[in-house]
Amino acid sequence: MSPASSPRLTDLTVKQRRAAKRAEKLAKFRRQQKQRRRNRRIVAVAVPIAVLVTVGAIILSVVLTPKPASYTAGSSGVAVEGVEEFTNAATHVETPVTYAQSPPAGGDHSPTWLNCGIYTQLIPDENAVHSLEHGAIWVTYDPSLDASQLGTLRSKLPTTHVILSPYDGLSVPIVLSGWNVQLGLESADDSRIATFFEEYWKGENAPEPGASCTGGVDG
The number of C-alpha atoms within 13 Å of 100 and in the hemisphere containing its C-beta is 14
- 160 within domain boundaries: yes
CATH code: domain of residue 124 = 3.40.30
Reported for 58-67, long-range contacts at CB under 8 A and 24+ positions apart, including other chains, are 66/154, 66/155
- 54 within domain boundaries: yes
Q: How many domains does the chain have?
A: 2
The reply to whether 49 and 88 lie within a common domain is: no
Residue 118 has pLDDT above 50, yes or no: yes
The reply to whether 100 and 24 lie within a common domain is: no
The reply to whether 56 and 94 lie within a common domain is: no
The reply to whether 150 and 45 lie within a common domain is: no
- 71 within domain boundaries: no
The reply to whether 60 and 115 lie within a common domain is: no
- 115 within domain boundaries: yes
pTM tops 0.85, yes or no: no
Phi, psi angle pair for 156, to nearest 5°: -100, 5
Question: CB within 8 A of 104, min separation 6: which ones?
Answer: 88, 97, 125, 128, 129, 132, 177
Encode pLDDT of 196-213 as tens digits: 999 999 998 899 998 999
Encode pLDDT of 126-162 as tens digits: 999 999 999 999 999 999 999 999 999 999 999 999 9
Residue 62 has pLDDT above 50, yes or no: no
Residue type, 193: I
- 172 within domain boundaries: yes
- 18 within domain boundaries: yes
- 104 within domain boundaries: yes
pLDDT at 216: 94
The reply to whether 121 and 163 lie within a common domain is: yes
- 76 within domain boundaries: no
Domain span holding position 16: 3-64
The reply to whether 22 and 59 lie within a common domain is: yes
The reply to whether 26 and 129 lie within a common domain is: no
Encode pLDDT of 73-103 as tens digits: 766 677 899 999 999 999 999 999 999 999 9
Q: Of 15, 31, 64, which closes a domain?
A: 64
119 φ/ψ sector (left φ>0, alpha ψ -120 to 50, else beta): beta
pLDDT at 16: 74
Q: Is the omega angle on the peptide bond into residue 103 within 30 degrees of 0, that is, cis?
A: yes
Instruction: Judge whether 117 and 163 are in contact, CB under 8 Å.
Output: yes
The reply to whether 94 and 154 lie within a common domain is: yes
The confidence band for 110, taking pLDDT boundaries of 50, 70 and 90, is very high
The reply to whether 96 and 48 lie within a common domain is: no
The H-assigned helical ranges of the chain are 7-64, 125-133, 147-155, 192-200
